[in-house]
Amino acid sequence: MIKKTIVAAMILFLVFSYRERVAAHAADCYDACSTACVQSNTRLMQRCDRKCQIKCGPDSTVKEHVDEAING
């Protein structure tokens, strides 16, 4: 009886362990930067968001580095 339970548990473990894995990455520079801006203080969150807008603006070279990291 115990062996059947262990075998059933192992089969369930194998079935659920083969799920598709998705690699998380940011789609662009602003998304990557603003993800780190989560704060309980709205003033600090707005400040961080503004820094991301400056960092990832049209004149930024960060976007090129993010694209290289995503595309390999």
30-55 confidence digits (pLDDT tens)? 888 888 888 889 999 999 999 988 88
63 within a domain of the structure (yes/no)? yes
Q: What's the structural domain count of the chain?
A: 1
Amino acid identity, residue 27?
A: A
Alpha-carbon distance of 55 to 2, in angstroms, equals 60
12 within a domain of the structure (yes/no)? no
User: Considering only CA atoms, which of 8, 72, 1, 60 is closest in space to residue 29?
Assistant: 60
The model's pTM is 0.46
Domain span at 62 = 24-72
Alpha-carbon distance of 46 to 68, in angstroms, equals 28
29 within a domain of the structure (yes/no)? yes
pLDDT at 21: 66
User: Which one has a higher pLDDT value, 2 or 21?
Assistant: 2
